[in-house]
Structure 1
Amino acid sequence: MAVNVETLDKLERKMTLTLPVDTIRGEVDARLRKLARTVRMDGFRPGKVPMSVVQQRYGYSVQYEVMNDKVGQAFYEAANEAQLRVAGQPTITEKDGAPEGQLAFDAVFEVFPEVKIADLSTAEIEKASADVSDEAIDRTIDILRKQRRSFAQRAQGSAADDGDRVTVDFAGKIDGEPFDGGKADDFQFVVGEGQMLKEFEDAVRGMKVGESKTFPLAFPADYPGQDVAGKSADFMVTLKNLEAGHLPEVNEAFAKSLGVKDATVEALRADIRKNLEREVKFRLNARNKQAVMDALLAKAELDLPKASVQAEVARMIESARADLKARGMKDVEKLPIPEDTFRPEAERRVRLGLVVAELVKANDLVAKPDQIKAQVEEMAASYEKPEEVVRYYYADPKRLADVEAMVIENNVTEHVIGKAKVTEKQLAFDDLMGNQDAQG
């Protein structure tokens, strides 16, 4: 059967579908007869409801189902025959003027675009690298020591200093009025570790147990509490208790407490280095992958299917609602979320997905089973029982599909880096890690 496809816009197409009325009627009758064998209605025994009653009760809904099924089937058969790559769902409307004994429908839809990728040898990519230094290991050990420190009462008359744990009562006022979150009793924090704003720590530093002090505090403009951000407050603080922190020594007992098998300081440092190198590799991969994807987008030319972008916007809004719900917000389904907030990112995702798919297809960059296996094993290596993590991934096709997508992205990254003009950039460990002491 010849399929006539009309071009409406860059990616928008239209085709007319026709179906014999007898085909629709025959399928409706068959479904109603099948339904009559099991339907239950008051006053009739099961399977004994007259067809006329079944027709009256269910005829419209069954006809609607049949029309959807048959028209949908006819559309996808026609699309396959015309070798069209349909993007999203078609909009199908019944058309007047069909030949006798026929029903006609117009199907308006979008097709996936042709993706043109320019010569990748002209792409410029900055590839980052970084090393794990002994200083980074030392800082991580310091973090681990702080996490396991103990506190003991300071001698009477001692003044609070950095590293001490203080217990305070405090109350703040803005323009003479108390404010939410500005008052606490028996509040504990360690001086000098940035848990409190600098003015607060400066005020407590040097105080002795039993002393009280008033001081001004200016909340930063970007302070998380919007009600007080950018405002100035007056605080009164009373020091109720003062404890000195004691860090554990770095020895075999410390290594053993951290679960290091050999329980030696050398084994501890080797274990930390291994973990940091794994994190460095993860962050470098993410950074370099981002650079590759940006370069790919710059070298790609394509039109975007509106249906695909709209579907991505809907997914992002649904994800945002789920996140808000997980945070405890109620009635998130009624919360108005403007689509335009997500559209730029949705367009980027769709564009990137189409470009990557084209590159994978053209260069056979699909994920091989041994690559997927290696990726799963690498991800599992940081856990106490890696074999259980491996089973966890292989037990769920969706989880395994996520790993497959990661491998494909890695393949694309390596492929593009292998062709592009690459500039190597050595990063300092702290710059790569974002100056965060979260490695412990």
Structure 2
Amino acid sequence: MRAARPRRRFLGLTATMVSAALSAILAFTVGTAAPAAAATRTVNDIGPVVSSLELNKGYEISRDCGFTGVPQANVIGVLWLFCDTAVSPTGQRVWGTTAGTAQAFTAPSQSLFGDFTDASGNNVVQFIPNPSGFSCGGTLAAWASGIASIPTSSPNPLLIIPYVVMCLNGTNTRPLALRIVDYDYTTNTFSNDSPVGGTGIFTGNPLADNRILGSPVVYNGSLYFYTGLCTSSAFGDCSAGTAQVAKVTLGSTPFAAYNASNQSGGHRWLDPRNYTFSTLAATSGGFTPITPASFDVHRYPAFSGSPFVAIEQDDIGGNITVFSSSSPTGPFTPRFTAAVPCNSTTGDGGLCRAYIGHPESSTSSKLMLSYFQPSDSHGNGHVRTAWIPWS
């Protein structure tokens, strides 16, 4: 029996070191209509995200979360990023992010994808390297909190990946830092990993919730990150919370803004009343109402008006609310609710979670999403895909 999966909070989900000139969270408020007043849509389940190892070698691979991104030069399809991954019957366990590539898929059909493996082709490998400079006292893990394509003058397919450095240490499991790294598809290499001690990236032990950012969105020369903050919870359900978005203007190179040490180049946290360079002073106007057990935001070019869409996990029973906005900073209004056919278990799989949208696979009429199904893989859990009618 494999070790129990730690309970995780998804950033941006899914889903931070303070420098002198610190960034700003831009709080936003949605309309006052309650999610219950929104229309209810049917979720059309597709099935597990199955890889070539599972199909060709008969492996059973339990994967957590499931982000996708398409590089600027789409040469080999979609990049999938997963979190903790366990393989049966080999007994392999990867703490951190794993990855695979697939041909682009469109709901309701899905293409097989290939895992990133070691030289033998039999073992999945950790994708994002663990950064140096952290003292953990347990197992260090790099958990991706999203992925986005960055426009560049180069034809190289550059992707930006925010990730959370986690210390997995039994009952003292905690986030330690938010970092951001470039990934080049063509060379399978990482660069510009924001260093410990650098500006614009956050650290803490544990890291404060409002500094755990995900759902990167590039729009009009700026990069946005989002987080949902639960302020009241019981038995795994969130009954109240807020949503926030951080914004930074991209420089002449994708990381010029992150590496800058002055106020004009670094992150900004935007208070609803005025700009501030103190994260403690930044407040949230709130999402009314919002119950973000997890939170995911993307821009969907396939939908009319190319709206920004937020998927909120409302509870541990598969209920979600989908919001939309014409602006990355809102206001966001409830569009519809839905119930994903998700089954909690008492095994390693645990609770229903990780509702993540996939704009590159969505069509003008269908919202593609993935979610973690705890009852799959004999109760160890697996990522599945589904679609919901957009209109």
Greater relative contact order (Cα < 8 A, sep 6+)? 2
TM-score bracket, normalised by the shorter chain, equals under 0.3
Select the structure of larger CA radius of gyration. Answer: 1
More helix, by proportion:
1
More strand, by proportion:
2
TM-score, normalised to structure 2, is: 0.19
